[in-house]
Amino acid sequence: MLAGILVISDKGWRGERLDDSGRVAQEVISQIGIEIAKYEIVPDEAEVISGKLIEWSDEVGLDLILTSGGTGLSPRDVTPEATLAVIDKSIPGLTESMRMDTMKIKPEAILSRSVAGTRGKCLIVNLPGNPKAVRECLKVILPVLPHALEVLGGRVSECGNRGAG
């Protein structure tokens, strides 16, 4: 399975800040055997973000895209809107569980506007821009990502029978 890491950061894009969040996402996601095929830093511009999500899912054919950054409350934070503009189906349980678990560590995590959803056979998940928060959020959803990607890719068809005795 192939993944892309899309870091949304004006300062990172201009070369004024090193990207640690994307590195953390790559490190964590590789634990479940997913190969990182794409990595890029883009500015906080909705059209740029949406365009990259479309390109990576439709043209490159990635199975998973993790975004990092642009999920807060500042006027430049537009990652959720850019993601909502291109997904076919929303998967609120992923981001709800990330917020609920990580707010126990840092109450401000509940303010995250991250979204998750599918575009075709690609799963797209918004993560925060803070490296520690990226690690914490991925820890929450990592156990279900392989199954989600198998279902999206058509490699599993009988989800309802899992765990049935």
Taking only the tens place, the pLDDT of each residue in 101-137 is 999 999 999 999 999 999 999 999 999 999 999 999 9
Give the confidence band of 161 by pLDDT, cuts at 50, 70, 90: low
pTM score: 0.92
Average pLDDT over the chain, rounded to an integer: 92
- For residues 127 and 5, give the distance between their C-alpha atoms in angstroms, rounded to a whole number: 10
In angstroms, the CA 146 to CA 138 distance is: 12
Q: In this structure, are residues 112 and 73 in contact, taking their beta carbons and an 8 Å threshold? A: no
Q: What is the pLDDT of residue 155?
A: 83
pLDDT surpassing 90 at residue 54: yes
Question: What is the topology classification, in CATH, of domain 2-153?
Answer: Molybdenum Cofactor Biosythetic Enzyme; Chain A (3.40.980)
**Residue 162 clears pLDDT 70, i.e. is over it:** no
CA–CA dist 35, 29 (Å, integer): 8
Question: What pLDDT was estimated at residue 159?
Answer: 59
**Residue 125 near residue 116, CB atoms below 8 Å:** yes
Q: Which amino acid type is present at position 97?
A: S
pLDDT band at 160 (very low <50, low <70, confident <90, very high): low
The continuous run of DSSP H or E covering 54 comes out as: helix 46-54
What are the extents of the domains in the chain?
2-153
